[in-house]
Copies of this chain bind each other. A is one copy, B any other.
Amino acid sequence: MSHSTPYQVRTAVPGPRAAGQGTSADAFRKAAGLVDAKTIGLDDALRRVTGAQLGELLLPRFGPPEPGRGRRPLLTRGVPAAPGAATGTAVFDPVAAVDQAAAGERVVLIRARTTAADLPGILVADAVVITGADRLAGSAAALARGLGTPCVAGAADLRIDPAARRALLPDGRVLVEGDQVSVDGGTGELRLGAEPLAPSPVAHYLATGETHPADVPLVSAVSQLLTHADRVRRLGVRADADTAAEARQARLLGADGVGLCRTERAFRGPARTLVEEAVLAGSDEARRRALAELLPVQRAQLAGVLGEMDRRPVAVRLFDAPLGRFLPDRTALAVHLATLAAAGSPQDPHEVAQLAAADRVHEHNPMLGLRGARLALTWPELLEVQVRALAGAVAECRAAGGEPRPELLVPLVASSVETELIRDRVRRILDATAGESGGTVDLRIGAVLELPRATVTADRIAGTADFFAFGTDDLTQTVWGLSREDAEAGILPEYLERGILAASPFESLDGAGVGHLISRALRAARRVDPGLRAGVYGSHGSDAASIRFFHTTGVDHVSCRPQRVPVARLEAGRAALGHLD
């Protein structure tokens, strides 16, 4: 890959370094100080700080010790391998970590050696502690940094006994699975008990405008450089936001809008069954009834996000999940029902129907299956519900005095025929419901380019879409032929470890492959429509090297997780200055 990243994978754990937040804070204070002293200008100051440093300054940390109590006892100190602080239950096994995280526990995964089998555990852990310091530990630490998960490596004092689910310390103390522990990945500390966590002063200031007098120099340095980054950056910075709370957080952290609102996320938790009912429905009438129940839930989600992001663009993406995601796990359900049958116990007819539906919608490769534009075209009633929900949400916001600015994203487009047909249908649905939704909705409809074919035929698609969005996660998956879900627990760590890859293409944009297709697509599309606007969403939206690439390529905005918005703003400003490290 042609781009490096500050979260580069190292082949071994780095040696001990100064606490992350300290160094990063110094960089900001020093740069701002030189500006105050008129030694350098703001551009130069911005060049001297990085998004990675700001990212560290935004991570939560341990709050002041509780009065009269002091810090929790130190168990050991290892190598600070990924910054941030977290508390949780000590777990010595990745499978247990996954189970406990699924049950809502905060989990600290503690391992002697990490292999591919640990990856699912690392993905769900709130912090990771590794006693080894080899190349495998280095890969795991790199992954943790990419995930924003605190990690301590080389904690060699801990002698883990996995069978007994405990760890021994040289002084005779014993850490037992289930104990509460606290990890500071910036200092390398592992403590017994739950330290109180606090937002960092910078995060607190950005979210509230308030700060402690002692933090004023740091906070104003960050604020000064972020403001300058906003002044010089050409790239818009939006956030992924599926809920009003996320949209609010994004707005407070300076997002220019929402780059990705996932409509299917309105149906997580108990609301999942609403989609399940529509899939299970045995008759047209039952399906219509089930779809009608989706509408208010979808509308409430969209009204919440549009309301919080008032007067700023909100890109709402049509349903993009395989339908199997809304049904119980097929294998587990088959086993459950077979067990009942074998025991002669009665089977729940609803579960029998669920299994039949799960079999029906089962796909060998759901990543390459029925979702996005394909779902909208083959299940037009679902598209109608979604568009009507959006129109209703707009009406609701307007009635409350707002000026909502929705955009519609059509995902998984492979051919311009798809965008053309969906655009026609959406316009017709909007026309038909103009009366009930309180006026016309001026909806710009964008094509999501996340399949190689869409990038190669971008000139044709440009003629059928109002704007483009590149979905870089899925585009990376199809360009590489690599299922992220499978690869992050298998081939990727192996490839990183063996040096076949220098960095995960899911963390830093693969310039030679994915990036090449994006820049060709943009050039071709703008020959047809010179004013065509294009955004990006995906894990790359706040990665420094990727942002530099998007800036250079002529992308108009990136979108990232709300808490990463300040990082993306800073890096977008740095990218605009050029001549970077």
Contact B331 A414 (CB under 8 A): no
For the complex, is A164 an interface residue (Cβ under 8 Å from B)?
Answer: no
Most buried by B among A364, A368, A474: A368
Contact A363 B453 (CB under 8 A): no
CA distance A43 to B417 in the complex (A): 39
Contact B338 A342 (CB under 8 A): yes
Task: Please tell me which one of the listed residues B365, B378, B481 contacts residue A451 in the complex, with CB atoms under 8 A apart.
Answer: B481
Query: CB within 8 Å of B: which residues of A?
Result: 330-331, 334-336, 338-343, 363-370, 374, 377-378, 412, 414-415, 417-418, 421, 450-453, 456-457, 460, 474, 477-483, 485-487, 490-491, 494-495, 498, 500-501, 510, 512-514, 516-517
Contact B452 A486 (CB under 8 A): no
CA distance A477 to B516 in the complex (A): 20
* A505 shortest CB reach to chain B, Å: 9
Contact A414 B338 (CB under 8 A): no
Most buried by B among A334, A340, A460, A513: A513
Q: What are 7 pairs between A and B in contact, CB < 8 Å?
A: A338-B338, A342-B343, A364-B366, A365-B365, A369-B487, A418-B500, A453-B481
Question: A512 contacts which chain B residues (CB < 8 A)?
Answer: 456-457, 460
Most buried by B among A363, A452, A495: A452
Task: Please tell me which one of the listed residues B330, B338, B418, B483 contacts residue A369 in the complex, with CB atoms under 8 A apart.
Answer: B483
| Complex copy number for this chain | 2
Contact B477 A453 (CB under 8 A): no
* A78 shortest CB reach to chain B, Å: 29
Contact A481 B478 (CB under 8 A): yes
CA distance A479 to B481 in the complex (A): 9
Contact B368 A483 (CB under 8 A): yes
Contact A364 B485 (CB under 8 A): yes
CA distance A480 to B372 in the complex (A): 13
Task: Please tell me which one of the listed residues B331, B456, B483 contacts residue A517 in the complex, with CB atoms under 8 A apart.
Answer: B456
CA distance A206 to B119 in the complex (A): 57
CA distance A343 to B343 in the complex (A): 6
Contact A500 B415 (CB under 8 A): yes
* A357 shortest CB reach to chain B, Å: 13
A342-B343, A369-B491 known, 17 other contacts, Cβ within 8 Å = A338-B339, A365-B366, A365-B485, A365-B486, A369-B486, A377-B494, A378-B491, A414-B481, A421-B500, A452-B452, A452-B517, A453-B479, A453-B480, A453-B513, A456-B479, A456-B517, A478-B478
Given A338-B342, A339-B341, A491-B378, A414:B482 Cβ within 8 A: yes
CA distance A451 to B482 in the complex (A): 10
Contact A452 B363 (CB under 8 A): no
* Chain B residue nearest to A517 in the complex (CB): B456
CA distance A394 to B130 in the complex (A): 49
* Chain B residue nearest to A337 in the complex (CB): B335
Given A378-B494, A452-B479, A486:B363 Cβ within 8 A: yes
Contact A477 B368 (CB under 8 A): yes
Question: A415 contacts which chain B residues (CB < 8 A)?
Answer: 500-501
Contact A474 B478 (CB under 8 A): no
* Chain B residue nearest to A460 in the complex (CB): B512
CA distance A477 to B418 in the complex (A): 18
* A511 shortest CB reach to chain B, Å: 11
Question: A417 contacts which chain B residues (CB < 8 A)?
Answer: 500-501
Given A339-B338, A342-B342, A364-B486, A451:B474 Cβ within 8 A: no
* A9 shortest CB reach to chain B, Å: 14
